[in-house]
């Protein structure tokens, strides 16, 4: 009987000994996997855009205005790039301040550029927040007037047009929507989403659904 008890105790000690070595090895293996995943994660491709940046907002008279100089933008940011493209810019409040602090009229904005032939977007990237995007988790509905921003690359500015019919015949341009309470959102989305907006004949009191990205001064509505 004593031999049986001793045998069980011996076996228990052996198992405890094996487990004590196995647990650290398992933890080390998991730690190694995490390190490998971090090292093999795709790098964020940061690019730079040089051009004229405008704050699009509703002024004190209730008119949609575009400013190349601002203290605190209340609406959205758009840009005419030296590369012959027009951009919607999304980012944080700090990003908008950093852009404005640049002394030259032509600004350089770094971030993640994406889009298609009907619309380009630059997600400004700060050191603390590489993607610089605060995205709503749920769709919202925005009701307002859609305005086309037609780029004039020679003059380095935009012409505002509230189209009375489809605007797809124009070259690649931007769109913003402003609401009755003075909020402005730059619009972006898939090529199909932008073409759907361009095909609209009515631009007043339009309801749009989508998710919001950015912060005050660089709002973007990603339309469905």
Q: Are residues 12 and 92 in the same domain?
A: no
Beta bridge partners of 141: 209
Q: What's the Cα-to-Cα distance from 1 to each of 4, 5, 8, 12, 13, rounded to whole Å?
A: 5, 6, 11, 17, 19
Q: Are residues 17 and 63 in the same domain?
A: no
Quote the pLDDT of residue 10.
52
Quote the pLDDT of residue 122.
93
**Structurally, how many domains does the chain consist of?**
2
Cα four-point dihedral sign 128, 98, 77, 82: negative
Residue for token digits 């959205």? 76
Q: Are residues 86 and 108 in the same domain?
A: yes
Quote the pLDDT of residue 46.
84
Q: Are residues 120 and 9 in the same domain?
A: no
Q: Are residues 37 and 58 in the same domain?
A: no
Which tokens hold the place of 78? 């758009």
Q: Are residues 25 and 70 in the same domain?
A: no
Quote the pLDDT of residue 199.
95
Those residues whose C-beta lies under 8 Å from the C-beta of residue 78, and which sit 6 or more positions away, are: 53, 54, 56, 66, 86, 87, 88, 89, 149, 158, 174, 176, 186
Q: Are residues 14 and 111 in the same domain?
A: no
Q: Are residues 98 and 172 in the same domain?
A: yes
Sequential DSSP letters for 168-222: TTSPS-EEEEEETTS-EEEEE--HHHHHHHHT-S--SSEEEEEEEES-TTS-EEE
pLDDT along the chain (224 residues), means of 10: 47 48 48 47 72 94 91 92 94 88 91 92 67 64 96 94 92 95 95 95 93 89 90
Domain hosting residue 22, numbered range: 1-41
Nearest to 74 by CA among 83, 85, 87, 64: 64
Q: Are residues 34 and 61 in the same domain?
A: no
Cα four-point dihedral sign 18, 21, 23, 27: negative
Q: Are residues 21 and 75 in the same domain?
A: no
Q: Are residues 78 and 5 in the same domain?
A: no
pLDDT in tens, 16-47: 544 454 444 444 555 545 544 444 444 557 88
Q: Are residues 153 and 209 in the same domain?
A: yes
């Amino acid at each position: 009987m004593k031999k049986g008890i001793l045998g069980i105790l011996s076996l228990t000690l052996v198992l405890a000994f094996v487990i004590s070595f196995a647990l650290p090895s398992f933890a080390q293996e998991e730690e190694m996997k995490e390190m490998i995943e971090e090292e093999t994660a795709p790098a964020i491709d940061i690019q730079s855009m040089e051009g004229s940046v405008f704050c699009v907002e509703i002024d004190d008279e209730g008119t949609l205005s575009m400013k190349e100089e601002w203290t605190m933008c209340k609406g959205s940011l758009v840009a005419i790039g030296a590369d012959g493209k027009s951009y919607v810019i999304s980012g944080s409040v700090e990003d908008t301040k950093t852009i404005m602090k640049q002394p030259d009229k032509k600004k350089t904005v770094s971030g993640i550029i994406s889009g298609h032939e009907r619309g380009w977007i630059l997600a400004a990237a700060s050191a603390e927040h590489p993607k610089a995007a605060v995205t709503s988790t749920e769709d919202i509905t925005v009701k307002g007037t859609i305005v086309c921003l037609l780029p004039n690359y020679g003059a380095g500015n935009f012409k505002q047009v509230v189209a009375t019919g489809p605007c797809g015949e124009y070259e690649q341009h931007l769109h913003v929507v402003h609401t009755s309470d003075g909020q402005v959102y730059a619009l972006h989305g898939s090529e199909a989403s932008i073409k759907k907006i361009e095909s609209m004949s009515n631009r007043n009191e339009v309801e749009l659904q989508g998710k919001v990205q950015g912060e005050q001064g660089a709002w973007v509505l990603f339309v469905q």
